[in-house]
Structure 1
Amino acid sequence: MHKSTWIGYAPLATLLLNVSVLVAQTPEAFTPSHDEIVARYKHAARMDSLTKNAVFNDRVEAHWRQDEQSFWYENILPDGSSAYVLVDAKSGKKQLFTNKAQVVAEAPGEQVQQPNRQRRWGMADFRGERVSPDQQWEAYIEEGNLFAKRLSDGEIIQFTSDGTKENPYGAVAWSPDSKYLAGYLIHPVQDSLVHFVLSAVPETTRGQLVSRPYKQPGDPFTTYDLFVFPLDKRTAVKVAAEPIDFPNAAPLLRWRYGDARYFTYEKFDRGHQRFRVIEVDSHTGTTRNVVDERTGTFIYHDRQYTHYPEERNILIRSSEKDGWRHLYLVDLISGIEKPITAGEWVVRDVVDVDARNRQIWFTAGGMNAGEDPYHIHYYRIGFDGKGLVDLTPEPGNHSVVFSPSKSYYIDTYSTVNQLPVTKLRNGKDGKEIAVLEEAVLSEAYQQSGITPPEVFVAKGRDGVTDIWGIVSKPSDYDPAKKYPVLENIYAGPHDSFVPKSFVPYSEMQSLAELGFIVVMIDGMGTANRSKAFHDICWQNIADAGLPDRILWIKALAEKYPSVDTTRVGLYGTSAGGQNTVSALLFQSHFYKAGVAACGCYDNRVDKQWWNEQWMGYPVGPHYEAQSCATVANARKLNGKLLLIVGEADSNVPPESSYRVADALIRAGKTFDFLSIPGMGHSDGGPFGRMKKRDFFVKHLLQVEPPDWNAGELPYNPDTGRERWSFQ
């Protein structure tokens, strides 16, 4: 009996033991008392102070001697003094000086700047000189019409008679051989105004109205009709091309080298779905498309790189037509286009072009397998796509500055949690000459207990694509506790935003010190990955990569059970403000609280150039469907929301925030609203950041924040600064 009883109860005993172990291993929700949270605010303020100016020897700003045999730079030491370093470029040997005058005497020189970019768009006026290149004619506009006067005898040619002061001819340019003029009949559009009221201007008793022009999606543009004016025909020849109605300036004209009868100009169609390089025959006004790229989604206007090497009828341009941003070489006479770079990686920028030696210096991300694809590396390649040289082989995010002749360059690299290293390299083959500096942390930082963010990677909504982000934990992180999550969100499609260089401390870490796990993620729909990755945003701004972000946070919770996915909040500014409200409306099953500052909540209210780029043109019903400022969408709010707006916002009109407030009120929803007098486009400044902390402490930690009016935290106890000195 005893034996059988023992056998019968043994499994139950084992089960109870396993349950008790499981219970012991399951983290408990972190729920501090009021006194504990006040102490955490004090601790966060102390960390803000201890971690300022925490990194030393993290950059080298070189001043090169004219012959490039040597250069000097300044180091700021932990005690605030300066040391001056003289470097022999060939050997990398260093000499130290304490006196700036001494080192300058050894290597006088200036800090090197990167080369300027070519200008693409002009002004509605003459291009270059009014006098022809052969000095025989002077062109001018009178009463809106174009004239040319021969300087030798005063003979006048009147090319046009239909121009007026309201619709004048302008933006006129001479051909290099002085045989042609080219210019535009301009139909100006006056932009509509937006307004805001400054409610608390000192020494006034009335609100001050501020009005300014502001183009919103769908608004008309100034248009330009292109004409050529052959001097031998003495008349205007209208170019057989559509009017230029985008962007809000006339494109520059580029004359063919060796045959000035022809010129080209660039044209983006409104809606960002077609880009052309169009050639014009100045004698006949006929045109042909040298480049004609179309897409079903968007061509990123501000990332459309074009470079026309002087005295060569070629074009170097960027395109994502094969699914990745790469460089192409175009023969402007034949129209033949050949790839310069190719592969499943992204050209980030062109640093410089050497037309004489037919070489290009560029940056790229994603070429190195196994490395963060957002890390920037530098390369050199020939116009023919051959001779690729990796100038920055070490893993990390690189920043390079070349010597004036590119014989040498200084390469500084780091990761978000690895200190910067700066090296001197040979410009020809990229070989390392010397390590110039290895960054160090201040003693106060090392003793603070703070650590830089952790990098975390998880799969996106397709189950294949890697989504990259960072994690900040409290310095007293306890794996036996379960912490609410805050996401620092900014999903603007114009770039990627998670830091890639060393971050010793940030507002994310300061918030983490209160008892949160704080994350930042680049979800699908942001830039600097493949075209397919980016295309998620097309006419779909409300998506904000939220499905990828949710999966990422859930994957983080699988690795760290201390991540509480039942208490997730988020905060953001500008596009991040819109993303925050979109998350609370359209992904309310996951996000429970949000603080949104000066968001572009309705893409019809915000600036034209940004919103039409991603939402398209014409303005269609998808704009309203994704708006956070409609009652239909406002009804979806289930979580807690704080809206912050500066009344003097000149970037996103303040009424964008007020329209959301109006929709929420009409939908019967409760929320918090903070309008800050006199403030522009901002996260709310010190006061707004204080309110953000209090909001999340109250709604995610379920504890009353400090009573500021009662003086529980009157000021930062270490610095004596104003009370809201949080980063």
Structure 2
Amino acid sequence: MIVLACGMGTDARADAEVLPLPAQVERSLALRSQWIGLTRDVAWPAQWHGDGRFHYRKTVEGGFRFQLFDPRQGSGSAAFDHARLAQGIAAATGFHTQALHLPFEDYQAIEVDGVPHARLQVGAMPLRCNLYSYACQQEAASPRRPRGFGVVRDLRVDADNTPRRSPDGNWEAFSRGHDIVLRRVADGSERALTRDGNATGFYDPESIAWAPDSRQLAFYHVRPGDAHLVTRVETSPEGGGPPRLQTQLYPRPGDAVDREQPVLADVASGRLTRVDDALFPNPYRMSPIRWRADGTAFAFDYIQRGHQRVRLVEVSSRDGRAHAVVTEDSRTFVDVSRPYHYELDGGSEVVWLSERDGWRHLYLYDRTGRPPRKLTSGPWVVREVLKVDAARRQVWFSASGMDAGRDPYFRQVFRVGLDGGDPVRLTHADADHDVAPSPDGNWYVDAYSRVDMPPVMELRHADGSLARQVEQGDITALRAAGWRAPESFVAKGRDGVTDIWGLVVRPRDFDPARRYPVIENIYAGPHDSFVPKGFWPFGYHSGGDKVIGMQALADLGFIVVQIDGMGTSNRSKAFHDVAWKNLGDSGFPDRIAWHQALAARDRSYDISRVGIYGASAGGQSTLGALLFHPQFYRAGVAWNGCYDNRMDKISWNEQWMGWPVDDSYARASGVDNAYRLQGELLLIVGEQDSNVDPASTMQVVDALIRAGKDFDLLNIPGGEHTVGRSTGPIDYAHRRQFDFFVRHLQGRQPPAWNAMTDAHPR
């Protein structure tokens, strides 16, 4: 626990005495570009290659570069010629870049015909670059039929009907019309396997899976779900001209999803067995079919509609009977947003992640139906399975919350045997660890850091002994430029018992004798925790740029914080379950208690003037703060919010709000509760948001107008979910957010930007 010790000098009103000059705002908006070149040897986590080497990205003078390290030689070098790769990318994309500012954060090392290549992404364009010739080419998009949020096939697009050849090479299976057809490769003769397919119940060629012995195949019969489309108007297309319409398949909560039922087909006889769906009667989603190596069965994963049951189902190839290998049930939700099983030896054993005892732990199942072996236990959580080493019968995993007195979100790494025994700890530093085990299990790279400590990268042997330090981040120049580390603060939540952790960012010229308005950066989605734990500048961990944004805002005279309240992930199941059918809660009782505890310790922390901002689910929470807690939150900026969970995508919302759609959706709705608005509100939306339907924002606007409420609205033409169209050196949307908080929390009038023609080059 880190307790803040802040000065308690006399109250002052310095925050209301100085008009924020345009130069101050420009300095805040340009903070990332000013600071990005000031660190040295700050390394990103490692990625292993198939040849036993690994690469990583690190900051150097002038930008960053990729390094390639060979553990056997104990030395490293540049991963490739950065200047030539920049030229290759420019030739393929027209996007000109510099050698030390390549437009991607990482790449995948692959070989094509024995030649090393890098698979990477520039914007939305996937590229494959030859690391000998440095010629880059765009990778073809997947020919598979797209699915709306994974659950409704887009029938406007043809399925990939490439014939699926049997392992012995004698047969090909494909679809004709809505049915599956077999063709003998030797003579081209064909026969239909199915004959009853139609538009309302077809056989999916993309689902075809051959048995290892080529005597059988399995595929899905599909009853298609609702094909609900979102239509967006692109008012200001690039290059000018009249508006254009954009459409997107967009299933929402309550919509019918594709219903899949596996069918087993015998090649010789043509006999079909439609598998009884008693074990999977109400599917939300089913995984691709996969055959066991011995051909005795095929398997698939079943997620039940409502997300309260997940099953690993196996189907006998002898008679088509199904049985459940593992069933995971919950009275609230099973979190299917994270991997929950890993199969060994062709499915003879299954490593399974479960929260059945109230904490997320590892279990080992086999196909015999015997009770599972519990591999880990205790009041802490397994975060991720990093590697399953079948040969050594070991599992490498990250976990958090096992160290009393330490931040419960710091990831530590362990290895445990599948045959029992206590986990072996592989990391020890009081920090957040990002570990990459080598493919052969002989090494691992540990990159660890904290928000107040730059990354250290170490290469270690599998037994935990140190081979060598690879990198040590140097932030001397960053400190000299005025950087100060964010501060961790912990206080009790709504129950007076549970620790709630947060982060505090103060102005670089912080004066403890002054009183500062408070602004909370909120994201409260149940799919993760969000307060950064690793060293944050420049995207080292997700959220890094957001914390830079917090610093930029703080430098205008605020204290800016971020908090993980109840309902977020990576703590106990009970902590997580607060979000169930309750997204409107957003952990606010914990957040307000946290604010009050900090204000009681720190007189500079003025909770009579609290603002809040957030995007996406954070936008929903921002609006919820003003609607449901107006006595505490005075002003909010909500970006691209999913304000009504009935209007948002099916995948995220049914996971947490459940199915069928009930009155819990209405209780959380920013539309139904818009009449409650008391504070100041700025809504920002990108008109081409493909993640959250922009109509979600406009329906809030409609409800506010009907309720006679005053608010501000910024609609960004062409803006996506990330919004923010740049106008020269200043990001317009973020400048508007800065102005909004200066006006409503500090009582100061922002600069008259329209009169300052030189401030905004076009």
Q: Provide the TM-score with structure 1 as the length reference.
A: 0.84
For 1:282, the equivalent position in structure 2 comes to 317
Aligned AA for 2:635?
A: A
Is 2:437 the counterpart of 1:437?
no
Describe the shift of the 1:653–1:43 C-alpha distance in structure 2 as closer, same or farther (beyond 3 A).
Answer: closer
Aligned to 1:58: 42
One-letter amino acid of the structure 2 residue matched with residue 225 of structure 1? Q
Q: What SS is found at the alignment partner of 1:308?
A: strand
Give the superposed CA RMSD. Answer: 3.5
| Whole-angstrom CA distance in 2 between matches of 1:323 and 1:700 | 42
Gap change, CA 1:88 and 1:380, over 3 Å in 2: closer
Secondary structure, counterpart of 1:186 in structure 2: strand
Deviates more, 1:30-39 or 1:280-289: 30-39
After TM superposition, the structure 1 = structure 2 runs for residues 165-564 of structure 1, keeping only pairs within 5 Å, are 167-170=201-204, 171-189=207-225, 191-201=227-237, 204=240, 206-231=242-267, 234-242=270-278, 246-247=283-284, 250-258=286-294, 260-386=295-421, 388-426=423-461, 428-443=462-477, 445-504=478-537, 506-564=548-606
Residue 134 of structure 1: how far off its partner (Å): 4.3
In structure 2, what is the Cα distance between the partners aligned to 1:593 and 1:452? Answer: 26
2:516 counterpart letter in structure 1: Y
CA apart distance, 1:304: 3.8
Given that residues 493 and 534 in structure 1 are in contact (C-alpha distance below 8 angstroms), is that contact kept between their aligned partners in structure 2? yes
Deviates more, 1:345-354 or 1:698-707: 345-354
Q: Is the 8 A contact 1:645 1:682 kept in 2?
A: no
Cα distance in structure 2, aligned partners of 1:579 and 1:111: 34
Instruction: Return the offset for 1:610.
Output: 0.6
What is the match of residue 665 of structure 1?
705
Superimposed CA distance per residue, residues 265-290 of structure 1 (whole angstroms, 9 cap, x where no aligned partner):
21111110111122223343332222
Deviation sequence 1:646-672 (CA, Å, 0-9, x none): 111111111111111111111111111
**Structure 1 residues 235 and 47: CA distance shift in structure 2, 3 A:** closer
Residue 305 of structure 1: how far off its partner (Å): 2.0
Task: Quote how far apart the aligned CAs of 1:231 are.
Answer: 4.6
Equivalent of 1:691, from 736, 753, 758?
Answer: 736
Contact 2:231–2:246 (CA<8 Å) still a contact in 1? yes
Q: Deviations over 1:546-581 (max 9, x none)?
A: 111111111111121111111000001111111000
For residues 674 and 600 of structure 1, what CA distance do their matches in structure 2 show?
16
Cα distance between partner residues in 2 of 1:582 and 1:64? 44
What CA distance in whole angstroms lies between the structure 2 residues aligned with 1:654 and 1:451? Answer: 38
| Contact map agreement 1:584 1:591 (CA 8 A) in 2 | yes
Deviates more, 1:474-483 or 1:127-136: 127-136
Cα distance change, pair 138–244 in 1 and its aligned pair in 2 (3 A): farther
Sort the Cα spacing of 1:467 and 1:362 in 2 relative to 1 into closer, same or farther, 3 A.
same
**Which 10-residue stretch deviates more, 474-483 or 220-229?**
220-229
Gaps of 5+ in 1: 1-23, 102-109, 716-721
Quote how far apart the aligned CAs of 1:640 are. 0.5
- Partners in 1 of 2:529 and 2:570 — Cα distance? 6
Offset of residue 43 of structure 1: 5.5
- CA shift, 1:51, in A, is 2.4
Is the 2:297–2:314 Cα contact (8 Å) retained in structure 1?
yes
Residue 567 (structure 1) aligns with: 609
Structure 1 residue 292: deviation in Å?
2.0
The answer (yes or no) to whether the contact 2:203–2:219 under 8 Å persists in 1 is yes
What letter matches 2:249 in structure 1? Answer: P
User: Mean alpha-carbon deviation: is it higher for 261-270 or for 544-553?
Assistant: 261-270
Contact 1:314-1:330 at 8 Å conserved across structures: yes
How far off is 1:67 after superposition?
7.9
Q: How far apart, CA to CA, are the structure 1 residues paired with 2:497 and 2:527?
A: 23
User: Aligned to 1:197, what secondary structure does the other structure show?
Assistant: strand
- In the TM superposition, what is the alpha-carbon distance from 1:379 to its structure 2 partner? 1.9
Distance 1:71 1:345, change over 3 A: closer
Query: Counterparts of 1:619-638 in structure 2 under 5 Å?
Result: 619-630=661-672, 633-638=673-678
Residues of 2 paired with 1:612 and 1:574: CA distance? 16
- In the TM superposition, residue 448 of structure 1 has moved relative to its aligned partner by 3.1
Q: Which residue of 2 aligns with 1:144?
A: 178
Cα offset, 1:159, TM superposition: 4.1
> Which position in structure 2 is the counterpart of 1:601?
643
Contact preservation (8 Å) 2:581, 2:664: yes
CA gap of 1:127–1:147, structure 2 versus 1, over 3 A, is closer
Cα offset, 1:407, TM superposition:
2.3
Assess if the C-alpha contact under 8 Å between 1:366 and 1:374 holds in 2.
yes
CA–CA separation in structure 1 for the residues paired with 2:162 and 2:346: 18
**For residues 251 and 29 of structure 1, do their structure 2 counterparts lie closer, same or farther at Cα, with a shift above 3 Å needed?**
same
Quote how far apart the aligned CAs of 1:131 are: 4.2
Q: CA deviation at 1:441?
A: 1.7
Q: CA deviation at 1:161?
A: 2.6
Q: 1:65 to 1:142 in 2, by over 3 A?
A: closer
- How many residue pairs align between the two structures? 673
1:705 aligned to which of 750, 753, 756: 750
* Aligned residue identity for 2:298: F
Larger radius of gyration: 1
Cα distance in 2, alignment partners of residues 223 and 509 from structure 1 = 48
Structure-2 change in CA distance of 1:646 and 1:46 (3 Å): closer
SS at match of 1:558: helix
* Deviation, structure 1 residue 538: 0.6
Alpha-carbon deviation of 1:492? Answer: 1.2
Find the aligned partners of 1:135 and 1:202 in 2 and give their Cα distance: 49
SS at structure 1 position matched to 2:753: coil
Q: Which stretch shows the higher mean deviation, 224-233 or 373-382?
A: 224-233
CA distance in 2, matches of 1:309, 1:479: 58
TM-superposed CA distance for 1:323, in Å, is 1.1
- In structure 1, distance between residues paired with 2:761 and 2:17: 21
Instruction: Give the Cα–Cα distance (whole angstroms) in 1 for the partners of residues 31 and 293 of structure 2.
Output: 62
* Alignment correspondent of 2:11: 27
Separation of aligned partners in 2, 1:488 and 1:665: 27
* Deviation of the 1:643 alpha carbon: 0.6
- Separation in structure 2 between the aligned mates of residue 62 and residue 239 of structure 1, nearest angstrom: 44
State the alpha-carbon separation in 1 of the partners of residues 80 and 321 from structure 2: 66
Q: Name the residue aligned to 1:7.
A: none
Distance in 2 separating the partners of 1:289 and 1:600:
36
In structure 2, relative to structure 1, the CA distance for the partners of 1:138 and 1:702 (3 Å cut) is closer
Structure 1 residues 154, 515: CA separation in 2 closer, same or farther (over 3 Å shift)? closer
Instruction: With the length of structure 2 as denominator, give the TM-score of the two structures.
Output: 0.81
Shift of 1:589: 0.9
Aligned equivalents of 1:661, 1:85: Cα separation in 2: 52
For residue 19 of structure 2, give the secondary structure of its aligned residue in structure 1: helix
User: Residue 465 of structure 1: CA displacement?
Assistant: 1.2
Q: Which residue of 2 aligns with 1:160?
A: 194
Deviations 1:1-22 (A, max 9, x none): xxxxxxxxxxxxxxxxxxxxxx
Within 2, Cα distance between the matches of 1:528 and 1:538? 15
The answer to whether 1:78 aligns with 2:61 is yes
Specify whether residues 61 and 596 from structure 1 end up closer, same or farther in structure 2 by C-alpha distance, changes over 3 A only. Answer: closer
Once residues 651 and 414 of structure 1 are traced to their aligned partners in structure 2, the CA distance between those partners, rounded to angstroms, is: 32
Q: Is the CA contact (8 Å cut-off) linking 2:37 and 2:63 kept in structure 1? A: no
Output the amino acid matched with 1:455.
Answer: S
The residue correspondences of 1:634-653 to structure 2 (distance < 5 A) are 634-653=674-693
Letter in 2 for 1:294: D
